[in-house]
Amino acid sequence: MIYFDNSATTKPYEEVLDTYVKVNRDFYGNASSLHNFGGRAESLISKAREQISNLIGVKTSEIIFTSGGTEGNNLAIKGVALKYRGRGNHIITTSIEHPSVTEPCRQLEQMGFDVTYLPVNKEGRVSVDDIEAAITNNTILVSTIHVNNEIGSIQPVKEIGKMLTRYPKVIFHIDHVQGVGKIPIDLYGSYVDLCTFSAHKFHGLKGNGFLYKRQSILLDPQVTGGNQEQKLRSGTENTGGIVAMAKALRIELLDQQNKSDSLQKIRDFLFSELQKDPRIAIQSPQYGAPHIVNFSVVGYKGEVIVHALEEEGIIVSTTSACSSKDNAPSSTLLALGINEKIANAAVRISLSYENNIDEAKQFLKALDEVLERLNKVMGRNK
């Protein structure tokens, strides 16, 4: 099997699985317990927190463990909105956010908040000037995805953050779920206040993630009860998953140092070869993230291509995994101005450092054979 659906989820590293099993077998005590056995679990969590903070260059106290990207985005957006609603009720985001950003914003609108959804250009990038022009005296939050999960466009987060330093009352959140391990981010240097991470996007386990929260930022907790995670995220800690996540992040960032050139070459090769095919339209920007290529085979729904490739042992996807069962065209592609027919035909390739150039060549060969076969069935010529 060739697995090209890494933006949906990644295969856990063997070392990560081994760590998870060992911790749950040998250190299964509740980290909130008073006894020493629970204290050993707490110590492992503290060590993992320290490792993660060192890896991303922030203070240990600025790491809040969550269940993943969706919870992290909800905590950041709703947490800011409800904590700072006395300061204002206006939020700025973009038209191509992940549903875990868009839906919290929709909920907040029902609670009386005002949300501006800014357009993007044909390459999927928001304008820094547009963000600044949208800021009002009531603006409390700007939230943007760093790397779009469907087309791989990269937002100018450093430029946005620098601009927002002129508006000290506006908090800056980025969704870095698709960027981690692929696009470097200097959180302090980019003036980011909140940043969301999800373990299963970098070969960790599902159900784990963390939120970077600048020390000075306050949040209204969204899950209350046991007062864990600085009283911001209650619930018994997933010790094994947290420790395994720290290991996964370390390995992923090491791969980024050593394998980023090879990943980029695979993506460039796929982009170039697909671009040559007159049957195919590419939605991803040429200079987007090094692991995502979104394209459409004109005349065929994306799900048809996905299932046909699966029969050849190749796993790809259509839109975001969170939206793939909606049977609706991608809102991201529609926001780019792509017509509904092309949007319905979209297919996403998403790579990891585990992939290689031979797999890319096999994919292209299989795709050509699939299209030839489908064209014959439909009575079409190449």
List, by residue number, the catalytic residues: 322
Question: Which of helix, strand or coil describes residue 122?
Answer: coil
Sign of the dihedral through C-alpha 312, 315, 316, 318: positive
Residue 328 has φ and ψ, to the nearest 5°, of: -130, 150
Strands (E), the chain: 2-3, 63-66, 90-94, 114-118, 139-145, 171-175, 194-198, 209-213, 280-282, 292-297, 314-315, 346-350
Closest-CA residue to 40 (of 28, 49, 48, 52): 28
Q: What is the spatial distance between Cα 72 and Cα 80, in angstroms, rounded to a whole number?
A: 12
Beta-carbon contacts of residue 44 (< 8 Å; ≥ 6 apart): 23, 27, 31, 239, 242, 243
| Axis-axis angle for helices 14-26, 239-276 (nearest 10) | 160
Q: What is the spatial distance between Cα 125 and Cα 118, in angstroms, rounded to a whole number?
A: 10
Count of alpha carbons within 13 angstroms of residue 24, beta-carbon side: 12
Q: What is the spatial distance between Cα 275 and Cα 363, in angstroms, rounded to a whole number?
A: 15
